[in-house]
Structure 1
Amino acid sequence: MTDQQPPLSAVHLPWFVSTEHQTDVLLIATGIFLVLFVFTIGVLLLRLHHLPEHIAGKEQKVQYQVVAVLGLLAMFTHENLFWIAGLLLAMVDLPDFTGLLGRIANSVQRISFRKGPEARRIRDVDRGLLGFRQPTKRFRLLFNLPLKERDCHYG
């Protein structure tokens, strides 16, 4: 009496177990899933990390640059405080002082170059309202005004 074993092919194996010369389907599927999962998580984390820069991109250039530097510091130093500071700075609308100061400078320049009866009237009103005395010689030299009152073209 010989013990006869059934051939190997007749034994039922689960689908994920590969035989000697077959491709391991589970290993390949798991590898593809792992690569895609790591790539997706990396993209999502980088997108989250650069969220303050995307928010500040709509604002002023200086604010965007400060937020970008804070984001880089947070990424390279692994300090979350920099990221939080950048996010808060990106969400705050800072007033545009450069535009305001530029408009003030342009207005002052236009006023300084103004001549004629309108300029005389403005100067007379300013002197009367503010109680200005006649400018001293030092003041006239400093601001390049005529030294004698008769040389003035006030009116």
Structure 2
Amino acid sequence: MNESLHPLTPHHLPLFITAPGDIDILMVVMGIVLLMAVLFVGNIYLQLHSLPERMAHKSKKLQFEIVAVLCLLALFTHNHLFWIAGLLLALIDLPDFIAPLRSIAASVQKIAGIPPDADPTEPPETTDAATPVSDKTADGEAKEQGHA
């Protein structure tokens, strides 16, 4: 098959013009560039969208779950007010209202003569009834208590 040029075609064609049936290299390169650009911009968008959540997680805020839910709502509803609310919650440190209330409750129980409730933030004390308690006597011998 003779691929001669049309007589009116200039003899110095640019490189991106291909013959019929050949692979268009410029289109392939631009397709790859477009795919990489879409992935890059999408990654930046998702990183920016999760910014409040990462800020709240890094500073170990109490309202981390609320910020995470607001970021997800903003992502799926495209409502920017949720993202702004999440960002503000991530930046603001909420005061601790529970610790003073626990202290007040423990003081009132102490005044009333009621033994205070166990603190839920501390691990429970374990008592092992199977192990005998031993005392040292004056001569160094161990004497078991609780067993007759």
TM-score, with structure 1 as normaliser: 0.57
Residue 29 of structure 1 deviates from its aligned partner by 0.6
CA pair 19-64 structure 1, distance change in 2 beyond 3 A: same
What does residue range 4-43 of structure 1 map to in structure 2 within 5 Å? 7-8=4-5, 11-43=11-43
- Give the aligned partner of residue 48 of structure 2: 48
Between the aligned partners of 1:88 and 1:45, the Cα distance in structure 2 is 19
Q: How does 1:53-92 map to 2 (within 5 A)?
A: 53-60=53-60, 62-92=62-92
Q: Supply the distance in 2 between the matched residues of 1:101 and 1:43 (Cα, whole angstroms).
A: 44
* Deviates further, 56-65 or 74-83: 56-65
Distance 1:29 1:99, change over 3 A: farther
Q: In structure 1, give the amino acid aligned to 2:46.
A: L
Structure with bigger helix share is 1
Q: CA deviation at 1:74?
A: 1.3
**How far did residue 11 of structure 1 move?**
2.1
The CA RMSD over aligned residues, in Å, is 2.9
Amino acid paired to 2:45: L
Residue identity opposite 1:78 in structure 2:
H
C-alpha distance in structure 2 between counterparts of 1:100 and 1:32, whole Å: 60
Instruction: State how far apart, in whole Å, the 1-side matches of 2:58 and 2:96 are.
Output: 13
Counterpart secondary structure, 1:31: helix
State the 1:96 CA deviation: 3.1
1:84-123 to 2 correspondences below 5 Å: 84-102=84-102, 104=103, 108=107
Confirm or deny: 8 A CA contact 1:53 1:67 kept in the other structure.
yes
Determine what percentage of the aligned residue pairs are the same residue. 47
- How much has 1:14 moved relative to structure 2? 0.4
State the TM-score, normalizing by the size of structure 2: 0.60
Q: Which has the larger radius of gyration?
A: 1
Offset from partner CA, 1:50-94 (integer Å, 9 cap, x none): 111011113446411001111111122221111111111110011
SS at match of 1:66: helix
- What does residue 133 of structure 2 align with? none
- For 1:27 and 1:34, the matched residues in 2 are separated by 10
- 2:5 alignment partner AA: L
Alpha-carbon distance between aligned partners in 2 of 1:48 and 1:95, rounded to the nearest angstrom = 27
For 1:148, the equivalent position in structure 2 comes to none
Contact 1:59 1:93 in 2 (8 A): no
